[in-house]
């Protein structure tokens, strides 16, 4: 294909990019939820979820592999970031920068037309891995987190491994499946099934065909689980922003819906510092309502021992009830129409954003 055509995005290319950007942007919340689940399974408030980072760049790599155009990754990344921003990303406009840089890196690694055409596993895995690791680097650069370099390196390695699997291997297998279905063009192998052909060639082609079928089965299984999980998440876990109330529920005698105006006369000011994995916010004053005041209003029942603070995207943090009742540094703030938990002296992973429910159990 002439170089000029490799630089021009056709109408079909733009539609493809728009669809993949929309899918990636909307599903990014679900991918973030999967990352949070990884953290909770491992037992840490951060870090382990980076192994889901490759699912954020899958859509970018697919756009490059389908269109085979230079710059397709950059455009997809930018649009995907915009979709994430307007669907309620807790990172704000920063997510656009992160997604854009992921697209730029993917385009740089897969700049060669030969790499895109051949769907070389090494090139696609490198593009997926480096692209996924960019999110850690960008957040570190923008927020100047005072995090040890060794921890940043570990997070980058986890993200890179995820990108190699989900952004590299998985994208190549999906592209192969799309080619088999006649959706995209490529260099599909011609399998020789006649025994009249040379025995060695016949055996090699039969083995290749079995490998292809096994790979496609693995991809189909993954996509089935991923899609079913996404449907469940958006139906039963994800909560549309209610606007003005937090449900206080669970093992309490007086469950109620918290509205900030009802407790405004109990406002306190807390000076707190957010120390996260890749985010650092210097000490500053926050105004809000003590979480202990909300719990006292709800009247926890005998035997209750934990407080779960849950965000609309499904993210949650678990606190010891007795500790919370004695703390004077855990508050609920009204952050431009969204409720946010500020937890002084706790890891950044406990600062839940867009709080929709508080459960005593």
CB atoms within 10 A of CB 186: 16
Last residue of a domain, one of 188, 207, 225: 188
- What is the band of 50 on the pLDDT scale with cuts at 50, 70, 90? confident
> How far apart are alpha carbons 194 and 215 in whole angstroms?
23
Lowest-pLDDT range, 198-207, 240-249, 291-300? Answer: 198-207
- Quote the number of domains for the chain: 2
Is position 231 within any domain?
no
Percentage of the chain with pLDDT > 70?
88
Q: Which of 334, 355, 358, 219 is nearest to 286 (CA)?
A: 334
CATH number of the domain encompassing residue 353: 3.90.420.10
Reported pTM = 0.83
Both 183 and 278 in one domain: the answer is no
Cα angle 13, 19, 20 (rounded to 5 degrees) comes to 90
- Inter-CA distances, 229 with 215, 226, 238, 356, Å: 21, 5, 12, 21
CB atoms within 10 A of CB 127: 32
Both 19 and 142 in one domain: the answer is yes
Higher pLDDT, 61 or 147: 61
Lowest-pLDDT range, 3-7, 163-167, 260-264, 323-327? Answer: 3-7
Both 169 and 292 in one domain: the answer is no
**DSSP-derived secondary structure for 59-127:** HHHHHHHHH--TTHHHHHHHHHHHHHHHTT-TTTTHHHHHHHHHHHHHHHHT-SHHHHHHT-HHHHHHH
Distance linking the first and last C-alpha atoms of the chain: 63
Alpha-carbon 111 to chain mean position: 25
For the stretch 138-150, pLDDT in tens is: 887 777 656 678 8
Is position 320 within any domain?
yes
Both 107 and 32 in one domain: the answer is yes
Does the structure show a pLDDT above 60 at 192?
no
Domain residues for the domain of 276 are: 246-360
Is position 234 within any domain?
no
For the stretch 78-98, pLDDT in tens is: 999 999 998 878 778 889 999
Hey, CA dihedral for 171, 176, 180, 186, is it positive or negative? positive
Is position 203 within any domain?
no
Is position 205 within any domain?
no
Average of pLDDT values for 198-219? 75
> How far apart are alpha carbons 182 and 9 in whole angstroms?
21
Higher pLDDT, 241 or 75: 75
- What is the band of 39 on the pLDDT scale with cuts at 50, 70, 90? confident
Q: What is the pLDDT of residue 17?
A: 96
Is position 96 within any domain?
yes
Is position 255 within any domain?
yes
Last residue of a domain, one of 171, 188, 205: 188
Last residue of a domain, one of 188, 210, 236: 188
Both 259 and 141 in one domain: the answer is no
> How far apart are alpha carbons 280 and 278 in whole angstroms?
7
Is position 227 within any domain?
no
């Amino acid at each position: 294909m002439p170089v000029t055509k490799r630089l021009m995005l056709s109408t079909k290319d733009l539609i493809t990019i728009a669809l993949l950007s929309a899918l990636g942007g909307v599903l990014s919340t679900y991918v973030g939820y999967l990352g949070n689940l990884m953290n909770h399974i491992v037992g840490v408030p951060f870090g382990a979820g980076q192994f889901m980072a490759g699912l954020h760049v899958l859509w970018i790599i697919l756009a490059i592999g389908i269109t085979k155009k230079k710059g397709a990754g950059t455009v997809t990344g930018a649009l995907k970031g915009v979709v994430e921003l307007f669907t309620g990303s807790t990172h704000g406009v920063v997510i656009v920068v992160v997604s854009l840089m992921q697209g730029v890196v993917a385009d740089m690694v897969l700049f060669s037309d030969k790499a895109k055409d051949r769907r070389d596993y090494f090139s696609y895995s490198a593009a997926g891995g480096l692209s996924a690791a960019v999110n850690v680097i960008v957040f570190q650069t923008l927020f100047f987190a005072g995090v040890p370099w060794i921890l940043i390196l570990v997070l980058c390695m986890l993200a890179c491994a995820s990108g190699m699997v989900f952004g590299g291997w998985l994208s190549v297998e999906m592209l192969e499946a799309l080619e088999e279905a006649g959706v995209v063009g490529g260099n599909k192998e011609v399998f020789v099934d006649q025994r009249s052909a040379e025995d060695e060639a016949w055996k090699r082609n039969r083995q290749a065909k079995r490998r292809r079928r096994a790979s496609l089965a693995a991809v189909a299984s993954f996509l089935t689980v991923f899609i079913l999980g996404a449907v469940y998440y958006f139906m039963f876990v994800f909560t549309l922003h209610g606007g003005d109330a937090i449900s206080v529920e669970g093992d309490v005698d007086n469950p109620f819906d918290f509205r900030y105006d009802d407790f405004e006369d109990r406002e306190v000011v807390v000076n707190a510092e957010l120390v996260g994995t890749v985010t650092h916010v210097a000490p500053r004053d926050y105004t809000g309502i003590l979480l202990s005041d909300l719990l006292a209003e709800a009247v926890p029942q005998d035997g209750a021992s934990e407080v779960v603070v849950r965000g609309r995207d499904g993210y949650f943090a678990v606190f010891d009830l007795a500790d919370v009742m004695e703390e004077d540094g855990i508050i609920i703030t009204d952050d431009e129409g969204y409720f946010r938990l500020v937890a002084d002296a706790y890891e950044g992973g406990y600062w839940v954003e867009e709080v929709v429910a508080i459960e005593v159990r």
